[in-house]
Amino acid sequence: MPNTSDRYARIMTFNTKEGHADANRIVEIVKNEHVEVLALQEVSWDLLNRLNGAGIANYLPYSVAAQQTWHDNGGVNVLYSAAPMENAKQNLIPVESSSVSAATIDFGGSKVRFGSVHPFSPRPRNQGLWNRSLDSLAQLQHYDNLYVLMGDFNSTWDHASFRYLLGSRFLDSGQQAGEGLHMTYPAMMPIAEIDHIVHDKGVNVGDLETKYIAGSDHRALLATLEVA
């Protein structure tokens, strides 16, 4: 079992493709990789039931599911943790996209606020929603707390809106790792790095890798977090 009282954690984010992903495989990776914080996107209630049946609570007993709204982007965002959650929220910040589930977790005396995020994709009919979603997340630059945002951002470094979200405060773990790109989409032959772990400069994130999980069109993104 992972040590939830130190300043290190294995973390993972994964878009489950409207809840169709293999729940047993998700739990298997959580177990084998000693994942302490898991962010899921496009989660259905059926997937939540299958994850429970697969025993996710044996490894990640604490969770918060986002508030369900009319504009959910393929499903809700969910956050799981091996350590107790503080100030869990179904909707971290007003955002015109799927609501951001969030919670604060203590790492050896340092508290980190995690969020599971999923802005709309930048298709022609969603272009305005996509911009507004990223702009809303960018407002977290002005919030207190030490943040780690994990999810399908539907954007890359080529997008000015993503760079604006980062601003002068946040870092993208994939860009900082210096290990090349970590392609996550599409799952079978990934050519785009649209799933990200975005974090404050008081947090170090490295050892990134991707994992294929049947049923989804994304790959999971894993990393190791260290709180400075």
Domains of the chain with CATH codes: 8-227 (3.60.10.10)
Report pLDDT digits (tens) over 116-129. Answer: 999 988 776 777 78
Length of the chain equals 228
pLDDT of residue 177: 72
Residue ranges, the chain, pLDDT below 70: 1, 124, 178-180
pLDDT of residue 123: 72
pLDDT of residue 64: 98
pLDDT of residue 176: 83
pLDDT of residue 101: 97
pLDDT of residue 179: 67
Task: Give this prediction's pTM.
Answer: 0.96
DSSP three-state, residue 141: helix
Report pLDDT digits (tens) over 25-49. Answer: 999 999 999 999 999 999 999 999 9
Contact status, residue 174 vs residue 153, Cβ threshold 8 Å: no
Alpha carbons 146 and 1: distance in angstroms, whole number: 25
Q: For residue 85, what are the contacts with CB-CB under 8 A and spacing of at least 6?
A: 62, 63, 64, 79, 103, 104, 105
Alpha carbons 59 and 145: distance in angstroms, whole number: 26
